[in-house]
């Protein structure tokens, strides 16, 4: 028989679509909770990327995230540029 796990203790990948709104509302959105989430994410990332010598890969990952973040921020303005015809 499967054990019943409360929605709050489930990981995001284990949450069903119907439970998603209640799972989001149960998360800790205080500054301390957000900092803890970033810290957990950093340590999970660092566990897979723990290298002895640094290289271009880490810098390129940060650059790609920066570019995508800025693209998402400027999407409205860029969308209007696509619709213009220069003739």
User: What's the confidence (pLDDT) of residue 68?
Assistant: 94
User: What's the confidence (pLDDT) of residue 86?
Assistant: 65
In this predicted model, what pLDDT tens digit does every residue of 28-85 receive, in sequence order?
889 998 898 889 888 887 777 776 666 787 788 889 999 999 988 888 777 776 666 6
> Is 1's pLDDT higher than 60?
no
**pTM for the whole structure:** 0.44
> Is 3's pLDDT higher than 80?
no
Structural domain boundaries of the chain? Answer: 7-81
Q: What HEC string does the chain produce?
A: CCCCCCHHHCCHHHCCHHHHHHHHHCCCCCHHHHHHHHHHHHHHHHHHHCCCCCCHHHHHHHHHHHHHHHHHHCHHHHHHHHHCCCC
Contact 8, 25 (CB under 8 A): no
User: What's the confidence (pLDDT) of residue 87?
Assistant: 58
C-alpha pair distances (Å), 35 with each of 8, 12, 26, 39, 41: 18, 18, 16, 6, 10
């Amino acid at each position: 028989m499967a054990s019943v796990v409360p929605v709050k203790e489930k990981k995001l990948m284990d949450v069903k679509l119907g439970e998603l709104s209640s799972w989001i509302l149960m998360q800790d959105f205080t500054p301390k909770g957000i900092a803890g989430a970033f810290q957990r994410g950093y340590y999970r990332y660092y566990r897979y990327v723990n290298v002895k010598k640094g290289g271009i890969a880490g810098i390129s990952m940060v650059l790609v995230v920066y570019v995508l973040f800025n693209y998402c921020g400027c999407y409205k303005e860029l969308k209007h540029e696509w619709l213009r015809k220069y003739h």
